[in-house]
Structure 1
């Protein structure tokens, strides 16, 4: 569909008509009466003609001037061609990722993809960076927890910002404890502002709760009431004891209460199971917006009249040279 950004400028097309209706402007010049004009004219080499000469444009000149004016007005009106509108949906999944930054996450019992043992927190960060790289269309939120839980990033599609936050995370940034239940509570509160049907919390932890004000199992029941599914991902060696121990039984209970599944990610390969589970979730429509492509056409009338004027100039120059050649 053709439309104009400034259609009111079409009024300028009436200006030439108004100009034609105005009276002609005539310039009067002083003249000298000379009684011996014929004798004076005979002494000169010029033949006298009538004194009033009216210059008139040829038809093609008038036509070109008219087309040029019309083209300039049309260009000023900024014609635009609008294509058919179409709707785009932002489709993906929303999930929250809670990362344990307690002191026990410093234990070196995580086997990376190269087969080397590294700190649990470094293993978590490497797994999550790879995870985010595969979630291009999903909206992911980030929680860090230690002695308390903190929302690091709300649901966002900006994986670059999330990756930067992950890289800057380190052990004991949120305290040395493990507030597992508080992390679940923060996730539940943030999901209350979301309209998604699939509410998923990935809980990456060493599984040994030490400092929660909200007991983990009670927090899990609260999450289940809100329709949130929790996938606990246990980092570390289950055989460890003491502060570095891994409470698989509690993580399993959290998963059962929320209809989730617990994973033991002692190495990089185990985390691929989480990818397959996430892929089974139904994508959600986050937002819809309508796009109507438009093409600017103002330059076409300008190009056309520019070409016509150049052609007329070349033609007039060629005719003038031919006439000059005949006289010579």
Structure 2
């Protein structure tokens, strides 16, 4: 469908008509007085006329002027061609990721793709960057927790921001303890305004709670009541004991209360099952809107005007050159 961005500029097409019927402007100039003017006319054999000399354009010049002005007026209205409406829908899943930054995440029992044992927290960063690359269309939120739990980013599809925040995280940045229950509580509070059909919390931790004000099991019950599914991902070697040991019992209880499942991540390949489970979740329609493709057409009348004037200039120059040769 043809449309004009500035249709009111089309009134400029009436300007030449107004100028044609407007009073002519006459400029008075001092004339040379000659006492024997009559004798001069007799000698030269000419007839006197008014002092104003109007050069009348040729027929093709009149047409060129009209077409040029018409083209400029049409271009000024900025014509556009509107395509067929296209419905755009944004759908996906909303997931909150909570990252443990406690002192136990300093343990070097995570194997990177090159086979080198790195810190658990560095392994988490590797896993989450790979995770983000698999989540096109989804919205991800980020929580960091140690002695306290802090929301780092609300739900967003700008994964560049999430990656940047992850790169800046480090062990003990939020304290040396593990406030596992508080992290779940922060996630539940943030999900209150979510309209997603499936609410998912991915809990990346060693699972040994130490400083929570809100007990993890109670927090899991609270999350289950709000229909939030928790997928704990145990980071590190399951055979470790003591401070660096993984509390699988607690992670299993948290997952069971919310309908989730515990996963173990010693390397990047262990997340394949996580991706499979998440991809089976129903997507939620976040937003829906309609757009119409717009194609600018203003340059077409401008091209016509420039082309016609160039052709006429070339023709006039050619005629003038032939005249000079014959002269």
TM-score after normalising by structure 1: 0.90
8 A contact 2:208–2:246 mirrored in 1:
yes
Partner of 2:107: 107
Partner of 1:172: 172
Give the length in aligned residue pairs.
322
Partner of 2:195: 195
After superposition, the Cα gap between the structure-2 partners of 1:26 and 1:171, relative to the gap in structure 1 and judged at 3 Å, is closer
Shift of 1:25: 5.0
Shift of 1:63: 1.4
Please provide the CA RMSD for this pair: 2.2
Shift of 1:39: 6.5
Partner of 1:162: 162
Written as runs of structure 1 = structure 2, the 5 A alignment for 1:1-328 is: 1-25=1-25, 30=31, 32=34, 33-37=36-40, 40-41=43-44, 48=46, 51=49, 55-326=55-326, 328=327
After superposition, the Cα gap between the structure-2 partners of 1:38 and 1:209, relative to the gap in structure 1 and judged at 3 Å, is closer
8 A contact 1:74–1:298 mirrored in 2:
yes
**Residues in 2 aligned to 1:309 and 1:28: alpha-carbon distance in whole angstroms:** 34
Shift of 1:203: 0.6
8 A contact 1:91–1:285 mirrored in 2:
yes
Shift of 1:28: 7.1
Shift of 1:79: 1.5
Q: Secondary structure at the match of 1:142?
A: strand
After superposition, the Cα gap between the structure-2 partners of 1:209 and 1:20, relative to the gap in structure 1 and judged at 3 Å, is same
After superposition, the Cα gap between the structure-2 partners of 1:205 and 1:16, relative to the gap in structure 1 and judged at 3 Å, is same
* Residues 91-148 of structure 1: CA deviation (Å, up to 9, x unaligned): 2211011111111111222233333322222222211121112223221111111111
8 A contact 2:41–2:47 mirrored in 1:
no
Q: Which moved more, 1:105-114 or 1:211-220?
A: 105-114
8 A contact 2:197–2:283 mirrored in 1:
no
8 A contact 2:5–2:77 mirrored in 1:
yes
Shift of 1:35: 4.2
Q: Secondary structure at the match of 2:9?
A: helix
Q: Which moved more, 1:264-273 or 1:26-35?
A: 26-35
Structure 2 stretches of 5 or more lacking a match? none
**Residues in 2 aligned to 1:122 and 1:20: alpha-carbon distance in whole angstroms:** 81
* Residues 260-291 of structure 1: CA deviation (Å, up to 9, x unaligned): 11112233322221111111112222222322
**Residues in 2 aligned to 1:121 and 1:17: alpha-carbon distance in whole angstroms:** 78
8 A contact 1:202–1:230 mirrored in 2:
yes
**Residues in 1 aligned to 2:95 and 2:314: alpha-carbon distance in whole angstroms:** 69
**Residues in 1 aligned to 2:197 and 2:104: alpha-carbon distance in whole angstroms:** 34
Q: Secondary structure at the match of 1:36?
A: helix
8 A contact 1:80–1:296 mirrored in 2:
yes
Partner of 1:44: none
